[in-house]
Amino acid sequence: KVKRVFITGGTHGNEACGVVLAKHFIKTPQLFAGFSFEVSVLLTNVASIASNSRYVDEDMNRCFLQKDLSDPTRTSTLEARRAKELNDVLGPKGSADAADLIIDLHNTTADTGVALMMPPGDELSHAIASHLISLDPSVRVCNWNANQNDWPMLPSVGKHGMTFEVGAVPWGVMDGAVYQKTRRLVLASLQYVEAHNAALARQPPGPWLPTSVQVHAFVRAVDYPRDADGEIAGMIHPDFQGKDFEPLQRGDAAFLSVDGQTAIPFTPKPPPEEEAEAEQLYPFFINEAAYVEKKTAFMLARR
């Protein structure tokens, strides 16, 4: 039974739709009255919200590994310290006291629609996602790297948790259509949780897990083409822009050279590396501005 749900905004302070939505939720607690569970809304990286920046010292959404949260010496950055404060409120991570569900509101400059990022084994988050897909087919499920036993993202502090990545929207922009869609789907998630609690309360308990949901499983990140100095030598090709979650074929124009004219094709890694010759790969987070510094032009998933 779900007892405590957190909705969090501003983990990246310049992802404005999520910040404005969290502020709106904080001012309208009546939206969360009458549920069989408690809903709390909070702003997470308040310093980065104030400066309208992704972060002050480091990306806070990489600060929630158990080993970092429990390391008392890891306090040199504002975000490392704030992550520990948040862990006290939302967690502690891995404990019986941790929140039952965390929904963390993000925006991306990529044309993801609504990409729900979650751990591969999180059944409740997958069930919510299945419900949201029935309401809005632009919702997609992306699984964090299955080769890890822990994840550094904020919602991993809860027993269940997911990131709402909604795009395309620029940093600092309150996009009305994106805002409306996010607000509707977050409220629908809570209604699903309410139905889930009601099903569990029946005798015998009702079923609630979905039969199946299509999952995009993270494979790897792809860097920009670079020149001899290591400088970016090409950008996302106009024909590739906005094609998140559409199949990417070997030889498709992925990049455009900085000469503005030359297409640079996509080349999967040949066997015996991780991408089998015949495997179909799906790109996502195409041209996410914040990933330039992470040397990521887009990510690849398999279904």
Question: Which helix (H) or strand (E) covers residue 300, if one does?
Answer: strand 298-302
> Which lies closer to its own copies via its Cβ, residue 37 or residue 171?
171
Residue closest to 114 by CA, chosen among 183, 20, 171, 22: 183
Helices (H) and strands (E) in the chain, counts: 6, 12
> Which lies closer to its own copies via its Cβ, residue 195 or residue 292?
292
Q: Which of 165, 274, 275, 288 is catalytic?
A: 165
Give min distance, CB of 265 to its own copies, in A: 14
Binding-site residues, in ranges, read 12, 15, 106
Chain residues that interact with its own copies, rule: CB under 8 A: 14, 16, 20-21, 23-24, 28, 52-53, 109, 168-177, 179-180, 183-184, 231-232, 235-238, 241, 256, 258-261, 287, 289-290, 292-293
Give min distance, CB of 180 to its own copies, in A: 5
- Inter-CA distances, 113 with 15, 189, 290, Å: 15, 16, 17
> Which residues, other chains included, contact 213 with Cβ-Cβ below 8 Å and sequence gap of 6+?
126, 129, 130, 133, 141
> Which lies closer to its own copies via its Cβ, residue 79 or residue 122?
79
> Which lies closer to its own copies via its Cβ, residue 130 or residue 182?
182
Give min distance, CB of 177 to its own copies, in A: 4
Give min distance, CB of 274 to its own copies, in A: 27
What stretches of the chain show up as alpha helix (H) in DSSP?
16-27, 46-50, 66-69, 78-90, 123-135, 176-201
In the residue annotation, 279 being an active-site residue is answered as no
Count of all residues that appear for the chain in the document: 303
Give min distance, CB of 260 to its own copies, in A: 5
Binding-site residues for Zn(2+), in ranges, read 12, 15, 106
> Which lies closer to its own copies via its Cβ, residue 94 or residue 242?
242
Spell out a b/e string for 171-207, using b for 16 or more CB atoms within 10 Å of the CB, else e: bebebeebbebbbebbebbbebbeebbeeeeeeeeee
> Which residues, other chains included, contact 254 with Cβ-Cβ below 8 Å and sequence gap of 6+?
222, 236, 237, 240, 248, 264, 265, 266, 297, 298
- Which positions are annotated as active-site residues? 165
